[in-house]
Structure formats: C-alpha cells, structure tokens
Amino acid sequence: MRFCFPFLTLLAVTPVCAQLKTTLPRETAEQFEQYARAVEQQLETRWHSPGAFSAIDVASQDRAAVMRGEVLIHPATAANPVAVTGGLIHDWIAIAFFPSTTLSRVVDVLQDYNAHKTMYRNIIDSRLLHRDNKDVTGYWRLAWNHPFLHVVLDAEQEAHYEEIGPDKWICKAYIRNTAEVENPGTPSEKKLPPGEGRGFLWRMYAYWSLEAANGGVFAECRTLSLSRNIPRGLAWAIGPFVGSIPRESLSSTMLNTRKAATK
C-alpha cells in the first residue's frame, strides 16, 4: 500500500490549493508601500553620502568573499518575512562581484528585456515595452513549479536608472501589479485581475547599487516582495513555497546577471 501514499497526499492537497484564492487587501498594499518608502529613504541617504555606497563597503570580510566569487545572500531584517495585515514582506539582499566587465555592460544586461527569457530561470517570456532615456519598462511572464503548485504570473517592471558618479549607478525597479494566469499556454488561458488569485506574489521592488572597481563591478541588489500570509493549517503545504520564491529569484537574478555581463 506504500505506493498509494503520494497519490493520497496529492488528493488531499489539490482541493486545498484550489481554495487558496484570495484578494489583495488595500491595507496590505498600503503597509507595503510604507515599508518600501522607509527602505528607499535609507538607500537614498547611503547612495548620496560620502560614506559607504553599498553594503559591501561596511564589512571587509564580505568584500573578500565576493572577490573569491561567492554570491552573498541574506535577509535584510532580523525578522524575515515581515508580517503585515493580510500579507508578508520578504526583504533580501544579494551581493556579488562581476569580474572583467563594465558598468555600461551590466546596465545593458539589466535593460535587455528581450533577452531576459533566455537569461533568467523563472522568466519564460519577456520583451521591452518602452524606453525613455534612462527609464525602461519591460514585460515578464514568470513561472515557478512546486510539487503541488504551478504558478504563472504576468508582470510589468518599471525601472529607473541614474548615474550618480563616474563609477556608480543605481536602479530602482518596480513591479506594482502582477496578474496570475490560469491554464497558461492552453486555449482556456485566463489572466486574473491584479490583486486576485492565490497571492504568491503581489508586489516586487528591486534596488541595485553598482560600482566599478577592481577591474569589474560590485553589484548589490535588495528586493522587497509582497505575498499573502500563510493560512492556518497550510504552512506545511505552501509555507516553503511562499518563503522560497524571493530568495531563489534573487539568487538566480544575481548569478545569471553576472554570467551574462561577464561573457
């Protein structure tokens, strides 16, 4: 009878997951925006002050580690995710060194939405929508697989780039709405209105600090993402999935950006 257990587990989880649909509460979105504004204030102060430009300038052991090729990823807060009304804010930082490349090359990679579908693991379709000087808007179709969940989202990212010094660039990028896609790639494909669906990713903001040094580029990316909270009794089923998306996405982004920028 042991061969039946996975099947029985699937029968138990499938109806539960089918009932996960929720709606983004207005209060949840407002609390995320308040949190993001506070983070941006901290970053703006750091970016435009004579002291440390990025987190790598604070800890010398981190600089040594990334120079050896490591990608450092850690939560930006002691409590991560941060609980808000009806949702969770996931706040992560990744730091890496991109050897033998330039700032302009790294910026070109980040702005090349037409190529992102071939560069990043969770982006299955992408294209450039609009460019206005240093402001760029792109489209992504995002996909994640889990033993009991398959999630596909359509998203538009608005990215604002600024050269704040001869060797320093910053980028503030915003996904303010995602649309969950039901039955993707089939004749019955349906895109849900933003804020509706299972709520695995409602918002995602990214902040890049890029500095040319040591014959390459030090790159820091801090991401804030907003997801639903975990319904009581379902932590075993969807908790690991909800918690893994932000970190895994950030890791993939940093590793594959370095790969593309240092070809």
| Number of compact structural domains in the chain | 1
Packed helices 235-261 and 103-111: angle between N→C axes, nearest 10 degrees: 130
Q: Would you say 86 and 27 are in contact if contact means Cβ atoms under 8 Å apart?
A: yes
Tell whether 18 is covered by a domain: no
Tell whether 14 is covered by a domain: no
Tell whether 17 is covered by a domain: no
Tokens for 91, please give them: 């706040």
What pairs with residue 183 in β-bridges?
Answer: none
Please tell me the pTM assigned to this model.
0.90
Tell whether 37 is covered by a domain: yes
CATH number, position 92: 3.30.530.20
For 53, the domain range is 24-261
Give the pLDDT confidence score for residue 13 in this predicted structure: 45
Nearest to 28 by CA among 82, 76, 79, 88: 88
Handedness of CA 76, 37, 123, 245 (dihedral sign): positive
Q: Distance between CA 177 and CA 193 in Å, rounded?
A: 9
Nearest to 167 by CA among 202, 204, 211, 197: 211
Give the pLDDT confidence score for residue 17 in this predicted structure: 55
Tell whether 54 is covered by a domain: yes
Tell whether 1 is covered by a domain: no
Can the peptide bond before residue 99 be classed as cis, meaning omega within 30 degrees of 0? no
Q: Distance between CA 209 and CA 172 in Å, rounded?
A: 9
Tell whether 10 is covered by a domain: no
Tell whether 9 is covered by a domain: no
Give the pLDDT confidence score for residue 237 in this predicted structure: 66
Provide the residue-wise pLDDT of the chain in tens; the chain has 263 residues: 344 334 333 334 444 455 688 999 999 999 999 999 999 999 999 999 887 888 776 666 788 889 999 999 999 999 899 999 999 999 999 999 999 999 999 999 999 999 999 999 999 999 999 999 999 999 999 999 877 788 999 999 999 999 998 899 999 999 999 999 999 999 999 999 999 999 999 999 999 999 999 999 999 999 999 999 887 766 766 777 788 889 999 999 999 999 999 98
Give the pLDDT confidence score for residue 9 in this predicted structure: 38
Give the pLDDT confidence score for residue 159 in this predicted structure: 98
Give the pLDDT confidence score for residue 18 in this predicted structure: 54
